């Protein structure tokens, strides 16, 4: 297992962010992972070969993620850690306090990426929050800063009123909602796209659509592996979950095949342009 783990670590591409650091293109998310199970789950993920962990204050498991990192034996500098500003702290303006409580909970000394979890536009505080994020980047306690669930108007306000372009934008992104207009904007401004729920969060059956099934059959892979491979070849950073070690391994075993141009195009054709989850303008 140890040798296989090292091989898997080496296979995951790293993408350079506009603020200088590099992020593994495939990560491991802990959204809705019970805090009581989080440490064991994350230790399994690190043992399997993941080196990119995605949590948030709102997931209530930052401390357990940090404990897993310390217990794993993997050097801290080899692990890319993302966490996010909780909405109520954003709304109250307690950005600095929230960030340092996250650092304390994780116990990692710094975070590799800190995100505004939602723009909450009706509160109109994401610009002021971002200015404080710029301070975390400047002092090195956040190696990169970015946003989550931001639409083009939110990104344009940051561009007009602040100094640092977000490193990435973590959004709903999967074959049924491919975010083409947003991605075109972000590509033009050097903002990387990161997919939460890259497999659709169970909102559609992975084997429901012929282009996915056909590609899976052609390559001897599962529908989930085909979708993750679609993300990788599109340049998306993807953070699937894994309920078991078997799922964790399966999600990593996507670097020994490539989808053809025709297969990519067919999967692209599944895009409806319709969200399956919450609209960022409705979360306030």
What are the catalytic residues?
Answer: 59
Angular region, 221: left φ>0, alpha ψ -120 to 50, beta rest: beta
CA distance 150 to 170: 8
Which H or E run contains 284? none
Beta pairing, strands 22-24 & 14-16: antiparallel
Q: DSSP letters of 180-235?
A: HHHHHHHHHHTPEEEEESTT-TTSS-TTSSHHHHHHHHHHT--HHHHHHHHHHHTT
3 state SS of 33: coil
Cα–Cα nearest to 31, from 149, 140, 206, 182: 149
Beta-bridged to residue 81, according to DSSP, are 53
Residue 133 CB-density burial (10 A; 0-12 exposed, 13-18 middle, 19+ buried) = buried
In the chain the beta strands, taken as DSSP E runs, fall at 14-16, 22-24, 28-29, 52-54, 80-85, 113-116, 145-148, 168-172, 192-196, 237-238
Positive or negative, the Cα torsion across 86, 88, 94, 100?
A: negative
């Amino acid at each position: 297992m140890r040798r296989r783990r090292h091989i898997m670590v080496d296979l995951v591409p790293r993408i350079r962010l506009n603020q200088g650091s590099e992020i593994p293109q495939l990560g491991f998310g802990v959204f809705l992972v019970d805090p009581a199970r989080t440490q064991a789950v994350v230790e399994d993920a690190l043992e399997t070969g993941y080196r990119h962990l995605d949590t948030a204050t709102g997931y209530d498991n930052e401390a357990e993620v940090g404990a897993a990192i310390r217990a794993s034996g993997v050097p801290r500098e080899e692990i890319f850690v993302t966490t996010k500003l909780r909405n109520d702290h954003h709304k109250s303006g307690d950005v600095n306090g929230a960030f340092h409580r996250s650092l304390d909970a994780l116990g990692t000394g710094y975070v590799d990426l800190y995100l505004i979890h939602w723009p909450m536009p009706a509160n109109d505080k994401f610009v002021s929050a971002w200015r404080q994020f710029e301070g975390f980047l400047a002092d090195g306690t956040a190696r990169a800063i970015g946003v989550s669930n931001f639409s083009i108007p939110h990104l344009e306000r940051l561009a007009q009123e602040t100094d640092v372009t977000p490193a990435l934008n973590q959004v709903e992104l999967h074959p049924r909602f491919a975010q083409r207009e947003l991605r075109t904007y972000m590509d033009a401004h050097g903002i990387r796209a990161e997919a939460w729920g890259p497999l659709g969060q169970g909102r559609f059956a992975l084997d429901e659509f012929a282009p996915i099934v056909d590609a899976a059959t052609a390559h001897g892979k599962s529908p989930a592996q085909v979708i993750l491979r679609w993300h990788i070849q599109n340049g998306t950073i993807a953070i699937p979950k894994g309920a078991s070690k078997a799922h964790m391994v399966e999600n990593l075993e996507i670097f020994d095949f490539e989808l053809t141009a025709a297969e990519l195009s067919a999967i692209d054709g599944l895009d409806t342009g319709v969200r399956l989850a919450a609209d960022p303008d409705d979360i306030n």
